[in-house]
Every structure is written in structure tokens, then in C-alpha cells.
Amino acid sequence: MQQPPVSVIDVRAWLDERPFSFFQWRTLFLCFCIVAVDGFDTACVGFIAPVLMRDWHIGPHILGVLFGVGLGGLMIGALLLGPVADRIGRKKTLMATVGFFGIASLATTFSPSVSVLVALRFATGLGLGAAMPNAIALTSEYCPERRRAFLTTVMFCGFTMGSGLGGVIAAQLIPDYGWRGVFVFGGVAPLVLVAAMAAWLPESVRYLVVSGADPKNVRALLERIAPVPSEADTRFVLHEVKTEGSPVKQLFDEPFRAGTLLLWCVFFMSLLIVYLMTNWLPMLIHASGLSLVAASRIAVLYQVGGTLGALVIGRLMDRYSATVVLAFAYALGAVFLGVTGSAHGAALGLAVTGIGFCISGSQIGANAFAARYYPTASRVTGLSWALGIGRLGSVCGALFGGALLAANIRLPVLFLIVAAPAVIAAAAIYLCGLQASRRAARTALAALVRADAS
């Protein structure tokens, strides 16, 4: 008896051909909330620092250790826990890591000493480091190709909102509840979010296809976006580069090795500048002769520029070559950095906004590109390790700013020095794009040869 024909659905193409549904918007919103609580927990220590210094009589060097262990936890969490999501799935890993850093934040409220507080901030960082790349990957895997970069950057703006919300919440809670009240909020919010994730956050449909899940589960998720043909023997596939072995090993397989190293260079240089500007920009502007109040107001323009830059750059990445857009933005950011050292008045505000727009905005765009660069089987690992290496850059940026100020270098020269990493990032992301284009050409040629052979 003749067997009925088997229907094959390419999930990537299927998502590309459908309008963005309520189900996908809800998934994006939940990931937005995840990175928002991530941003709040990451930034909250900076807002309670003055109160800690007063209540516990600690000096700036102890605060430096407290900031540093948080970054260290982020780095180690990204490197160690990122590959877990490529083994067990995005949803399980997100629920575990968000719940973990929520519990760790709540435990911080009971810290009896600085040493315990430091240990718990490190533990919180472990969860935070794994949550962000998973949220980026899950968002990316539900987005159609034509809007993937823009929607991923929209989601990531939750981190900026959460960081800013930290200042508002701290101002409301500290007068009545002290610094411990901030950590109560930072713990309860993630735990409430875990309950919402359990009810409404889906597993990545692309991950299910790659991991060989039951086609009925794949169909059930796709049906929540749009109707799927009802043939009983439907197969769901993804036309991606075939990978084998552990997710970490895949980063260094021949198709991805050069791109992985170039992306690490981009993330290291980019986050070096981002954290140098975040930590030291008010002091650097103050060194030019402005008051600290005026310098702080101008520094806010850096954050405003970063949010606007993420949205504009994300949109441009969907319309044009992503790596050309990012390379141009990093290069333009180097120009703004060079100008900042000798700018005054309105020109200084414009230059600082331009730095945020180009450098911070490009870093968010680089997250979206990295999610696109790696196949589903190693996507979270690739993102996690790039962000982990980038954390090394963030530590260097925090230290580099202090060293530059201590060296009493003239401000125009100082900002020219800081512009150098932006030039390196521009070159690295452009070369990564060339490498990705060559890989895509080889993959297309191999597929054509297979088609001819069959």
C-alpha cells in the first residue's frame, strides 16, 4: 500500500512568513521583564552604596570589592551555566536562574556582615549571568528574520529600564526600610516573575526541533501563532549548520572558530567602554571644570543615547548588513569619544549622547547579532561566553578609568585613548561579518550540491 506523503515544515521559514502574534509579543514581554529584574539587581548595589558606607562604616575599597564580586559572578555564571540551556532548554534554565537570583537577593537582606554580603552578591551574580543570554536567545528564536534584531533590542531595553527603576525604588524604600528593603524588592519581583514564567513562558520552538522533541509539542506551540497543516506525518525541521559534540566545542568548530574569537574581541572592547563610561563619565566631565551636578546631568545623556541607539541600530540591522551597521556605529562612536575630550557646552552634551547612541546602542545590537550568528544547538552557549568574556572587559574598563584619572593625562588625549577600543570593535565586527558571509556561501553551495546529487 502506498504511504501518504510526508509534509515537511521549515520552522524558521514558517515563522518568517507569519505576522507577529500575541503569543510572540507575550513571550517578548516576559523576556523584557526578565532582563528588567536582571538590570535592577545588577544596579541596586550602586544605589545603596552611600547607605552601606554610613551604616557599616566601610570605605570605598570595600565597596569596590562588592562591585567586583558581582561582576565576577556574572562572568562565571555566563561561562558555566550558559551551556546548560543548550542541553536542557531555555525555559527550565530561565526559571531556575531567575528563581536562584531572587532567593539570593532575599537572603542578602539578612546579611550580618560585609563578608556574607559579598558572598551573596557573588551568588546573585551567578544567576544573573545565565539569565540574560537565555532571554536574548529565546526572544531571538521566536522572532521572524525580518524583524529579529529590532525586536531583540526592544526586549533588551528592559535592562536599561530595570537599572533606572533601581534608583526610583531605592529612593522610595531606603527612607522607611533601609538598604535591606531594596533587596527584598529585588528578591520578591523575580520570584513573582517565575510564577508568571511557569504559566506563560513557552519553550523555544527551535530548541524543541533541534533536540528531537515530539512533533506534537512543536505543533502545539506553532498553533498558538497561526494554524499549521494537519497532516499526521508532518516533520518539523530547521535548515541550519549541522553541529555535533558539546555546545562549547561547537563554538570552536571550523565554521564558527574565527567568528567566535572576533565576537569575543567585540564584546571585550565594547563592554570595556560601556563600563568605563558608566562608572567614570561624571568624574571625567568634572575634571574638565564642570561641577559634579552639571557633570551628572550630562552623563544622563549617555544612557538616553544608549536606549535610542539600540532601537535605531536594531532597526537598521534588519534592513541592511548587520555587521556593516555595527562597524559604522562603533567607528562613529570612536569619533564622538575623540570629540568629547575637547567639547564644551551643547557640543559636549551632543558628544556624550553620541557615545551612548553608538557604543552602548551597538553593544545591544551585538547581542542580537550574536544570537543570529550561532545555530540553535549552541546559541545560548555562544551568547553566554561572549558576554562572559565581555565581563572581563567591563572589569578592565572600571579599572582603566581610575588609572587614566590617576595618571593626570590631559582630557583630549585621555578620550582619544578610550576611542581606540571602539576602533578595534568596529574592525572586529566587520571581519566577523565577512567570515559569516563566507560560511553562508559555503553552506548554500553544499546544499545545492546535495540537491543536485539527489
| pLDDT digit string, tens, across residues 32-84 | 999 999 888 877 777 787 788 788 887 767 777 777 788 788 888 888 888 88
Here the cell at position 36 is 528588567
Here the cell at position 4 is 501518504
Q: Which residues contact 22 (CB under 8 A, 6 or more apart)?
A: none
Residue pointed to by grid coordinates 571581519: 431
Here the cell at position 83 is 551551556
| pLDDT digit string, tens, across residues 110-146 | 999 889 998 998 999 888 888 889 999 999 999 998 8
SS (H, E, C) the chain: CCCCCCCEEEHHHHHHHCCCCHHHHHHHHHHHHHHHHHHHHHHHHHHHHHHHHHHHCCCHHHHHHHHHHHHHHHHHHHHHHHHHHHHHCHHHHHHHHHHHHHHHHHHHCCCCCHHHHHHHHHHHHHHHHHHHHHHHHHHHHCCCHHHHHHHHHHHHHHHHHHHHHHHHHHHHHHHHHHHHHHHHHHHHHHHHHHHHHHHHCCCCHHHHHHCCCCHHHHHHHHHCCCCCCCCCCCEEECCCCCCCCCHHHHCCCCCCHHHHHHHHHHHHHHHHHHHHHHHHHHHHHHCCCCCHHHHHHHHHHHHHHHHHHHHHHHHHHHHCCHHHHHHHHHHHHHHHHHHHCCCCHHHHHHHHHHHHHHHHHHHHHHHHHHHHHCCHHHHHHHHHHHHHHHHHHHHHHHHHHHHHHHCCCCHHHHHHHHHHHHHHHHHHHHHHHHHHHHHHHHHHHHHHHHHHHC
Query: Is residue 231, in this structure, part of any structural domain at all?
Result: no
Query: Is residue 237, in this structure, part of any structural domain at all?
Result: no
Q: Are residues 317 and 438 in the same domain?
A: yes
Q: Are residues 264 and 148 in the same domain?
A: no
pLDDT score recorded for residue 292: 63
Q: How many domains does the chain contain in total?
A: 2
Query: Is residue 180, in this structure, part of any structural domain at all?
Result: yes
* Entry pTM: 0.84
Exposure class string for 330-359: b at 16+ Cβ within 10 A, else e: bbbbbbbbbbbbbbeeeebbbbbbbbbbbb
Q: Are residues 210 and 256 in the same domain?
A: no
Q: Are residues 57 and 202 in the same domain?
A: yes
Query: Is residue 431, in this structure, part of any structural domain at all?
Result: yes
Please give the Cα distance from 396 to 405 (Å, whole number): 14
Predicted confidence (pLDDT) at residue 278 exceeds the cutoff of 90: no
Q: Are residues 272 and 346 in the same domain?
A: yes
| pLDDT digit string, tens, across residues 326-352 | 999 999 999 999 998 887 888 888 998
pLDDT score recorded for residue 354: 93
Query: Is residue 227, in this structure, part of any structural domain at all?
Result: no
Of 162, 194, 216, the last residue of a domain is 216
Q: Are residues 95 and 210 in the same domain?
A: yes
| pLDDT digit string, tens, across residues 365-418 | 999 999 888 888 889 899 999 998 988 888 787 777 777 777 777 888 888 998
Q: pLDDT class for 443, splitting at 50, 70, 90? A: low
Q: Are residues 119 and 208 in the same domain?
A: yes
Query: Is residue 58, in this structure, part of any structural domain at all?
Result: yes
Q: Are residues 296 and 366 in the same domain?
A: yes
Q: Are residues 256 and 200 in the same domain?
A: no
Please give the Cα distance from 189 to 33 (Å, whole number): 10
| pLDDT digit string, tens, across residues 238-248 | 877 666 667 88
- Residue 205 burial (CB count, 10 A): 26
Predicted confidence (pLDDT) at residue 104 exceeds the cutoff of 80: yes
Residue 165's alpha-carbon distances to 40, 60, 269, 373, in angstroms, are: 7, 24, 27, 32
Q: Are residues 211 and 260 in the same domain?
A: no
Q: What angle do CA 445, 450, 451 make, to 5 degrees?
A: 95
Q: pLDDT class for 359, splitting at 50, 70, 90? A: very high
Of 171, 200, 216, the last residue of a domain is 216
- Residue 437 burial (CB count, 10 A): 12
Q: Are residues 41 and 147 in the same domain?
A: yes
Q: Are residues 258 and 322 in the same domain?
A: yes
Here the cell at position 411 is 582630557
Given a contact cutoff of 8 angstroms between Cβ atoms, the answer to whether 353 and 305 are in contact is yes
| CATH number, residue 166 | 1.20.1250.20
Please give the Cα distance from 423 to 419 (Å, whole number): 7
Strand partners, 10: 237
Q: Which residues contact 454 (CB under 8 A, 6 or more apart)?
A: none
pLDDT score recorded for residue 1: 44
Domain that residue 92 falls in: 8-216
For the ranges 5-14, 160-169, 309-318, 442-451, the one whose mean pLDDT is highest: 309-318
Query: Is residue 123, in this structure, part of any structural domain at all?
Result: yes
| pLDDT digit string, tens, across residues 191-243 | 999 999 999 999 999 999 888 888 889 899 999 998 887 766 778 888 776 66
Query: Is residue 12, in this structure, part of any structural domain at all?
Result: yes
Q: pLDDT class for 2, splitting at 50, 70, 90? A: very low
